[in-house]
Amino acid sequence: MAGQGHDQRMRAAAATLRHRMVRRIVAGGGLADPAWRAAFEEVPRHLFVPEYHRGAGEDARYAADDPDPRRRLHWLSGAYADQPIATHVARGGELVSSSSQPSLMALMCEALDIREGHRVLEIGAGTGYNAALIAHRLHGTGAVTTVDLEEAITSAARAHLAAYGTPEALAVTVVTGDGTFGHAPGAPYDRVMATCELPSVPPAWIAQCRTGARILAPIASGLVLLDVRGPERAEGRFLSTPAYFVPLRGEGAGIPPDAVGGEPSLLDRRPSRTRFGMSVDGSRQWIWLDDPGGPDTWPVPAASP
């Protein structure tokens, strides 16, 4: 009975913290769409981050199974803080995977304009939390596929989605593979969201999209929203916010993100990110200022097909 009472208190505390997180995102101008607000209010982020790290050493590990009740509460509070959470750290301290900052996730979800019936491809499964949010937004009317390179990451994402246990969460397809190549068996897609920094837009993503689909991807420390105009063509503008993610890894990710235009801070040095856009036309990719065919353009080294 004592254990049951503790579980009830933790669920109540999680609900309170989750609603507080949503209120803060709304106060900052996010989650204007009621459907997305409902997703963030109902999907329990703490189930997707049962363990995370802040800094180095054992004391920097926070987990749901910590025997110290104060540290468990610290873990729960951290799960609902509006900040990214490091969930997989390789030997040597390299960050391999994380759960993104919730307010940034909200901005990305709303910008992508996901609607009922859409088929959505996510590159970078992470904890599975973002896929669960998208699946909730689709109300079971669409299909969500999320891809990650590491079996340890995809196994954890599957376990977290299973722990959440809603029909929508259980219907998410979690794929272990090189996200550079998308996931052809789930195509054609209406929306693609990448949660990893890209050196360029992989051609496979565009090829696996319907004409009129949208791709939201982190490139050159920004977020570009592309409209797919054909099997090899896409174009769009950058959002106003900066964004920093773990780099894409895999066979087609050999070009470092800072190779874009030779300037890693290309978008940071200008007055408005929204004046920048990006075009993809076959093997050519370029970032531009104001006009795709104007004088201010920067070539993007294209990834391998």
Cα 262 versus chain centre, distance: 26
Q: Which of 97, 98, 99, 100 is catalytic?
A: 100
- What 3 state SS string does 80-142 have? CCCCCEEEEECCCCCEEEEECCHHHHHHHHHHHCCCCCCEEEEECCCCCHHHHHHHHHHCCCC
> Can you list the pairs that 19-27 forms with residues at least 24 positions away whose Cβ atoms lie under 8 Å?
20/80, 21/45, 21/80, 21/81, 21/82, 21/102, 24/82, 24/103, 25/82, 25/102, 25/103, 25/106
| Separation CA 172–CA 142 (nearest Å) | 10
Please, are residues 53 and 96 in contact by the beta-carbon 8 Å criterion? no
Specify whether 100 is catalytic: yes
Angle between helices 102-112 and 2-27 (to 10 degrees): 60
Known catalytic residues? 100
